[in-house]
Amino acid sequence: MTAIFAENTRLPEGWVSNVRLAISGDRIAAIEIDAVAETDDHVVHTLLPALGNLHSHSFQRAMAGMTEVRADGRDSFWTWRELMYRFLDKLTPEAIEAIAAQVFLEMLEAGYSSVGEFHYVHHQPGGAPYDTLSETGQRILAAAAETGIGLTLLPVLYSHGGAGGKDLTSGQARFGNQPDRFGRLVEELRHTARAGSTDTVVGIAPHSLRATTPGTLAAAVAAHGEGPIHIHIAEQTAEVADVEAWLGARPVAWLLDTLPVDDRWCLVHATHMTALETRAMAESRAVAGLCPITEANLGDGIFDGVDYLAHGGAFGIGSDSNIRIALGEELRTLEYGQRLRDRSRNRMRTGAGSVGANLYLSSARGGAAALGRDAGEIAVGRLADLVAINGSDAALCALAGDSVLDGLVFAAPETVVRDVWSAGRHVIRDGQHPKRSAITARYAATLKQLLEAA
């Protein structure tokens, strides 16, 4: 039994002082309020539910800073994608594991306790499968085990190169699977996951409507059974136009009208929606997977968070391309996008109250739901996904109650994160991962090898 004593704790019902929290295995076993710290307790200033990072392509972290040079003509998501295809052709399974370990370490140090890895680099350069079909997915599982992060692994079904069932391009060859082979790949990963951490989840991720067809998508969903289903949708206006020309409906409308979308689903980005689509998605109980830093970096557009919240929509955040892994910055970029569009302040909340608290706590609940993780709040019986922050930091020391979350989102540096527990594993102590030196050295060596091979 592990015990944490917190001077201040955000429980579902509000803030309480002097909480003693007991962890047994991977779960919160007891919560004592108005307690007194005992000798062996781990004492923290402020204890919060930790967020899950619901959308990550870990390998893209190694490209950070390499695509910010303007080319002739107009740069866009599509020109960035071509650069990404050329980069990933150099990745070995060993490189995929080393990069993922660095990314997962950085997520933990940023205050995330878990991640949804949307993993689509399945095969060798050229498209031939590895001897072990799930080789690269096994590397993601190994990186999660090394760092201790909670993992929802989302192997990606990517069968076509564009809307209308187009053939895969050479740059997409490493992604490609039809439903039968995809099913075998998923089952291999589930077999490995069952032998690992009890909180590891394996879901599925049909990449997008443009990378599947109605038949392959329906087959994958029907074969999946229980567990998370994630899909990229309506990220780009060209994607929306292509899907509408092909299927006779916009992507979000088509998906909601055609498949049984519910709270198992995470619709990633969903940037370009009509008012009717926004309302229908909110009412479906699917989680909007928002990645504000990446969406800004790629010039995607701005999700209509205000209207979505007005209809009771659930959301969480992810770091997607991992160009920068910063939890508070994801949340404030989400809010600032709404402010810039509307030329108004304090947008991501319905009714009066703390915007920071709504951003943080809603993302904790939405992220947990999207990852199929029994977490998202501090309560007995839930997974012990927890983060301790230094409320004495200069950015937070004058704040109390939910204003602490305003300070965390809008003002505090990342260094206020002091401890993180993932399913009871104490993975960050004094702001740092214990394996940081070894993991970062391996990552740096991997980047050097990749650059030499370019």
Phi–psi pair at 302, nearest 5 degrees: -120, 120
Rounded to whole angstroms, the Cα distance separating 32 from 57 reads: 39
* Three state DSSP letters for 368-426: HHHCCCCCCCCCCCCECCEEEECCCCCCCCCCCCCHHHHHHHHCCCHHHEEEEEECCEE
Query: What would the DSSP string read from start to end of 81-121?
Result: HHHHHHHHTT--HHHHHHHHHHHHHHHHHHTEEEEEEEE--
Amino acid at 203: G
Q: In what order do the strands lie in the sheet with 265-269?
A: 229-233, 265-269, 287-290, 314-317
Dig out the tokens for 406 from the structure. 């305003």
Residue 260 identity = P
**Distance between CA atoms of residues 157 and 159, nearest Å:** 6
DSSP notation for 216-248 = HHHHHHHHH-SS-EEEEES-SHHHHHHHHHHHS
Q: Is 344 helix (H, G, I), strand (E, B) or coil?
A: coil
The distance between the two most distant Cα atoms of the chain, rounded to a whole number of Å, is: 67
The residues assigned a catalytic role are 269, 320
Is 57:269 a contact under the CB 8 Å cutoff? no
Nearest to 364 by CA among 401, 405, 399: 405
